[in-house]
Amino acid sequence: MNEKINHQSLFHQCTIPSWLGGSVLRMGPGLFEVGGEPLNHLFDGQALIHKFDLKDGGVTYHRRFLRSDAYVRAMTENRVVITEFGTAAFPDPCKNVFSRFFTYFKGIEVTDNCSVNIYTIGEDFYAVTESNYITKVDPDSLETLKKVDLCKYLSVNGVTAHPHTDTDGTVYNIGNCFGKNMSLAYNIVKIPPAQKDKSEPLEKSKVLVQLPSSERLKPSYIHSFGMTDNYFVFVEQPVKINLFKFLSAWAFTGATYMDCFESNYSMGTWFHLATKDPPDYLNSHRFRTSAFNIFHHINTYEDQGFIVVDLCTWKGHEFVYNYLYLANLRQEWEEVKKAAVNAPQPEVRRYVLPLDVHRVEQGKNLVSLSYTTATAVLHPDGTVWLEPEVLFSGPRLAFEFPQINYSQRSGKKYSFAYGLGLNHFIPDRIVKLNVQSKETLTWQEDECYPSEPMFVAKPGATEEEEEDEGVLLSVVVKPGAQRPAFLLILDAVDLKEIARAEVDAIVPVTLHGMYRHPRTEQNNQDTS
């Protein structure tokens, strides 16, 4: 693959808005074969960073592979050297069985293949995955600058690729850690904004609050979390990481990250609350519901003594990532659909958590918000059982990779969410969801496969103006076309196409990213 491209793209169907400049930065896997051996899982591909520069009515496209240790060593040795999400490291043919055995005692090498997202810390840009490693990159040249180990600054084993960012640039995130008595727990961490003395914000980062794990040595998989003005919301799902497998089976039998996941069939799903200031875990608030997978939070906000939590869920215990092996996704369409029938059913759900759970009547619905059918009932054991309101549901159609007008509505009551429509796991549409009326709008085109739609607000828009005043940006793949990819620009109000910039190159799937405003410190980050 040609990784370095400077391609002046051609617009048709009108021109882009004059106010839309800056850059679209996207992360995703870009190389799915090393040394003639295919990688196994969608999340295994070596990280490729993409950039679409919008300027003076034109668009240029650039991309480069991230120079991670995983990438450089794989290219140098022509094999997978560091175990990825679903692909085990390939043995070094130059070592005999004894030397290979003793290398296991040097410790497990954790991947730094940061292919999932990109966001800012202070004034710097970092490509990230879900391990303890993040990679500093140059947003202009896309050069890899520095590998950073978060364990040097924070007590975490890794953090999510979906932090939350306050208006002042403060970054919040969550990851699992070792708590008391060597049990696993979850730490919510805080990284301050850019410092006036130009010092490194990471050096002043800290753990705010620790949340307990429902199982001592099996923390839940975490991909995102919720945050309001005053609270953090962590959803502990029944997909667990078996620490024993992680430390033993992986090292001695060549297992992968995927081999270390298992489901707890009895725990259901727990909602944990913590206050922001002062930071404190609310252990008296015990919220539980039926089992589901959760990867992306849409939005979380406070209203009249309740916390409203909107989520992209998948029903049941089975891990959805089991269906994202490349061998499954590359099958004929009919076979893909057959496999998806057995997968968990996706739904957009709204859960409502009452803040006052004391001195209330057992068996009675505690939710009094007039605009939702979600319920919360106190049980005799002190837990509050939650039942959701379904905001979106379709047969094997998921609303995923959600975005909102983050700068205006994150942590606040809102109306609109934008997402990628996954048809039997295949992204074939962009959907706008009105979370109040449940009405939807859709953009769809034959043989076109969009990516996460990023919302960019029109400059100067205030909270009094329309929440959806802006555009959506999505990188769309169109296999077999003369120009097989394009940057799509949609009006966020009605999802009508404004313009597209076609690229004369194959663009692999992208996962998450951000919009970088031109010559400003303000960035619209993907944090959902």
List, in sequence order, the alpha helices (H) in 109-201. none
Is 162 assigned a ligand-binding role in the annotation? Answer: yes
Sequence-distant (6+) residues with CB within 8 A of 91 are: 100
The structure tokens listed for 290 are 């039926």
For residue 282, the tally of other CB atoms under 10 A from its CB is 17
Is 517 assigned a ligand-binding role in the annotation? Answer: no
- What gap in Å lies between CA 472 and CA 12, rounded to an integer? 17
- What gap in Å lies between CA 258 and CA 41, rounded to an integer? 9
> Strand runs (DSSP E) across 131-212, as ranges?
133-137, 144-149, 164-165, 171-178, 184-191, 206-212
Is 164 assigned a ligand-binding role in the annotation? Answer: no
Contact (Cβ atoms closer than 8 angstroms) between residue 134 and residue 114: yes
- What gap in Å lies between CA 436 and CA 439, rounded to an integer? 8
- DSSP string spanning 246-276? IIIIHHHH---TGGGEEE-SSS-EEEEEEEE
The structure tokens listed for 192 are 């301050």
For residue 499, the surrounding DSSP H or E stretch is strand 497-503
- Assign 449 to helix, strand or coil: strand
Beta strands 117-121 and 124-128, pairing class: antiparallel
Beta strands 133-137 and 124-128, pairing class: antiparallel
Contact (Cβ atoms closer than 8 angstroms) between residue 366 and residue 383: no
Closest CA to 45 of 103, 3, 96: 3
For residue 123, the tally of other CB atoms under 10 A from its CB is 12
- DSSP string spanning 291-341? -EEEEEEEEEEEETTEEEEEEEEEESSS-GGGG-BHHHHTS-HHHHHHHHH
- What gap in Å lies between CA 325 and CA 269, rounded to an integer? 25
- What is the amino acid identity at position 344? P
For residue 406, the surrounding DSSP H or E stretch is helix 406-409
φ, ψ for residue 400, nearest 5 deg: -135, 175
- Assign 77 to helix, strand or coil: helix
Is 512 assigned a ligand-binding role in the annotation? Answer: yes
Would you list which residues are annotated within the binding site?
A: 162, 223, 296, 512
Annotated binding-site members for Fe cation: 162, 223, 296, 512
